[in-house]
Amino acid sequence: MKCRAGCGACCISPSISSPIPGMPNGKPAGVRCIQLDETNFCMIFGQPERPLVCSAFAADVEVCGDTQEDAIRLIAWLEGTTAAAG
């Protein structure tokens, strides 16, 4: 599956513990990444300061569903499930 242009769910729903330019402590789940522009594109995509966890993310129907709303919901559910298990 290819990422849906302008989705941005993976930059909103999950927590990211790695430093992000402008967010030195990472970001909590459900908080929009400061590097996500108004059209939901990553402003540091392909740059070395982009966190490895972001670069390693691969879109998948199991995680992203069929719409941005599905992706927000599924990623939030996965975040809650893994946080509870950890």
Give the count of beta carbons closer than 10 Å to the beta carbon of residue 64. Answer: 22
Q: Is residue 4 part of a domain?
A: no
Domain span at residue 47 reads: 9-85
Report the alpha-carbon distance of residue 72 to residue 86 in Å, rounded.
Answer: 21
Q: Is residue 15 part of a domain?
A: yes
Q: Is residue 53 part of a domain?
A: yes
Q: Is residue 2 part of a domain?
A: no
Confidence of residue 85 (pLDDT cuts 50, 70, 90): low
Segment 17-40, tens digit of pLDDT? 999 999 999 999 999 999 999 999
- In this predicted structure, the answer to whether residue 86 has a pLDDT above a threshold of 70 is no
Higher pLDDT: 86 or 55? It is: 55
> The pTM is what?
0.87
Q: Is residue 58 part of a domain?
A: yes
Q: Count the domains in the chain.
A: 1
Task: Specify the amino acid at residue 43.
Answer: M
Segment 37-77, tens digit of pLDDT? 999 999 999 999 999 999 999 999 999 999 999 999 999 99
